[in-house]
Amino acid sequence: MGRSVRSIQKNVSELVTVKGIRHGLLFVLSDQADFAEVIKELGRKIPTSLSNLEAKVTVYFDTGERELGDDAKQAIYALFEDHKNLTIGGYEGSPSPLVVKAKEPYVFKGTVRSGMVIEHDGDVVILGDVNPGAQVIASGDIYVMGHLRGSTHAGATGNHKAVIAACYFSPIQIRIAHVLSRGPDVKASAAEMEFAYLNGEQMAIEQLAYLGQHRAHVASFVRL
Amino acid sequence: MGEAIVVTSGKGGVGKTTSSANIGTALALLGKKVCMVDTDIGLRNLDVVMGLENRIIFDVVDVATGTCRLEQALIKDKRFETLSLLPAAQTKDKLALKEDAMHKIIDQLKEQFDYVIIDCPAGIEHGFRVAITAADKAIVVTTPEQAAVRDADRVIGLLEQQQIPSPKLIVNRIRPTMVKNGDMLDIDDIISILSLDLLGIVPDDEHVIRAANKGEPTVMRPDSPASMGYRNIARRIIGDPVPLMTLQVDEGGFFQKMKKWMGRR
């Protein structure tokens, strides 16, 4: 898991090396030098290399042989607090792509109209609208590349990690695993590019841009 | 070889029969040979709207069961030479009309007429399936109400299953004032939900009720807004690119305007 990086690290005398990876940025921290030195160097590296980045970036750390304690993680976290566009993804090197190829996603092209039911063991992608009275049930995630107005049930077999995403998000009712949530009683205009996920036992809605952060399996799956 | 067009909606009371009668008559006005077929067995009323009730001797079930020939059941319209009606049965069982018999009748009619307009019963059961079975094209009628749009959506799904390519949409009974005030569903909203091509819009018009009670299709009166809507629809069916009518908000007559003006002072 990201251990291939170590060979590079050995050749590098620098305390902190920044590498661009598929998932964002990887900070390789030297495991030879004193940690306080490394932190100081890290603090210097961030502003110079990242001050001009506007996009949201997830950063990862490879600490080599060094085991990071809570204090060490706090110290790193404190450095990144001022950089709102950066989020810490993990301390175990670059994330490995999950193998989620087991089940083929089902792609439906067209409008899912009232009375239609789409059921699939795996993810479902709808290239069109889901209208009121229609139902989409998936054991995995549900992605609607259109207007979601109907009812959807993701993670129907009990997968709490499933998400429901839509370009225009105004469902009548959504379910993830066994948690049910209904749309507002008052008609609101559809939110653009949003997704629903389970935050504990609570249904949560978030901008689609944050999908990768909340559900790492989706991010690595999408980039496979 | 003519074209069979089914007029359907799912929900009852949105104006299927009125639309069938008016589209049929408007096509006849344009000089086309048209036959209207009422498939609402047991609840026939296309003949009433057309004012041809007293001329019925045989009906569509008689033709299907072989009691009479197709020509015997066809009723010539009293206004247009080129317009005919095949009435529904009023006393027979709904199940008396089967899909293969319907196919045979419609195919026969298509040989004689340019357009065969099939008036579909409400609902999505047997009667609906029989009505759409032989259609080449479909027109879905809806009103600017949530319930009607839901049912239309369901019906469109069923039509797509039947391999009837891209049904066309008529939005009936629009009240421009209510749409303007946001109390009624917008035409754009309806189209975006149903994702269909709009064939035409028909404003709400008292004259439609008056005309239906007199047994005379609304399109016969050129001055009514609903009549204009149906005439435009007929022209689009034969391939004329007619721009969509602009909805005029009714400001009231001269005296109403006068009163408003006086009141404002």
Per-residue pLDDT band at A210 (split at 50, 70, 90): confident
C-alpha torsion B96→B97→B101→B104, nearest 10: 140
Contact check, Cβ <8 Å, B157/A115? yes
| Cβ(B15)–Cβ(B173) below 8 Å | yes
Pair of tokens at residue A79: 């450095």
Residues of A in contact with B157 (CB under 8 A): 113-116
- Compute the mean pLDDT over every residue in chain A, rounded to the nearest whole number: 80
> Shortest CB distance from B157 goes to which of A116, A132, A147?
A116
Residues of chain A with CATH 3.30.750: 5-90
B192–chain A nearest CA distance, Å = 9
CATH number of residue B244's parent domain: 3.40.50.300
Strands (E) located in chain B: 3-8, 34-38, 75-76, 83-86, 115-119, 137-142, 168-174, 197-203
A173 DSSP β-pair partners:
A151, A182
| Cβ(A95)–Cβ(A220) below 8 Å | yes
Pair of tokens at residue B165: 């390519």
- What is the reported pLDDT for B261? 59
Per-residue pLDDT band at A163 (split at 50, 70, 90): very high
More confident of the two residues A213 and B110: B110
> Shortest CB distance from B153 goes to which of A128, A133, A147?
A133
Contact check, Cβ <8 Å, A114/B193? no
Per-residue pLDDT band at A223 (split at 50, 70, 90): very low
A:102-161 residues touching chain B, CB 8 A cutoff: 110-111, 113-116, 128-129, 131-133, 147, 149
In the numeric block, the tokens 């079930």 are attached to B61
CATH classification code of A106-222:
2.160.20.70
B34–chain A nearest CA distance, Å = 32
Across A184-191, average pLDDT: 75
Residues of chain A with CATH 2.160.20.70: 106-222
- For the segment A142-157, what is each residue's pLDDT rounded down to a tens digit? 999 999 999 999 999 9
Kindly state whether A183 is in contact with chain B, defined as any CB-CB distance less than 8 angstroms.
Answer: no
Q: Which domain holds residue B207?
A: 3-264
- What is the reported pLDDT for A143? 95
B214–chain A nearest CA distance, Å = 37
Give the full edge-to-edge strand order of the sheet including A135-138.
A117-120, A135-138, A151-154, A173-176, A179-182
DSSP structure class, residue B220: G
- What is the reported pLDDT for B254? 59
Q: Please tell me the total count of domains within chain B.
A: 1
pLDDT beyond 80 at A5: no
Residues of B in contact with A149 (CB under 8 A): 193
Kindly state whether B161 is in contact with chain A, defined as any CB-CB distance less than 8 angstroms.
Answer: no
Summary count for chain B: helices (H), strands (E): 12, 8
Q: Which of A71-75, A153-157, A161-165, A197-201 has the weakest average pLDDT?
A: A71-75
More confident of the two residues A66 and A179: A179
| Cβ(A130)–Cβ(A150) below 8 Å | yes
Q: Mutation test of the interface with chain B: which of A109, A114, A145, choosing the one with the most B Cβ atoms within 10 A?
A: A114
ipTM for the assembly: 0.75
Per-residue pLDDT band at A65 (split at 50, 70, 90): confident
Pair of tokens at residue B137: 């094209």
Residues of A in contact with B195 (CB under 8 A): 111, 128-129
Reference A163, options A112, A117, A222; nearest CA is: A222
- Choose which CATH entry (3.40.50, 3.40.720, 3.30.750, 3.30.70) describes domain A5-90: 3.30.750
Residue of B nearest to A128 (CA): B195
How far, in Å, CA of B23 to CA of B45, rounded? Answer: 16
- What is the reported pLDDT for A50? 64
Q: What is the pLDDT along chain B (265 residues), one digit of tens a residue?
A: 899 999 999 999 999 999 999 999 999 999 999 999 999 998 999 999 999 999 999 999 999 999 999 999 999 999 999 999 999 998 888 788 999 999 999 999 999 999 999 999 999 999 999 999 999 999 999 999 999 999 999 999 999 998 898 899 999 999 988 888 888 888 999 999 999 999 999 999 999 999 999 999 999 998 899 999 999 999 999 999 898 887 766 555 556 555 655 655 4
Residues in contact with A14: Cβ distance below 8 Å, sequence separation at least 6, in sequence order: A30, A41
- Give residue B119's Cα distance to chain centre: 7
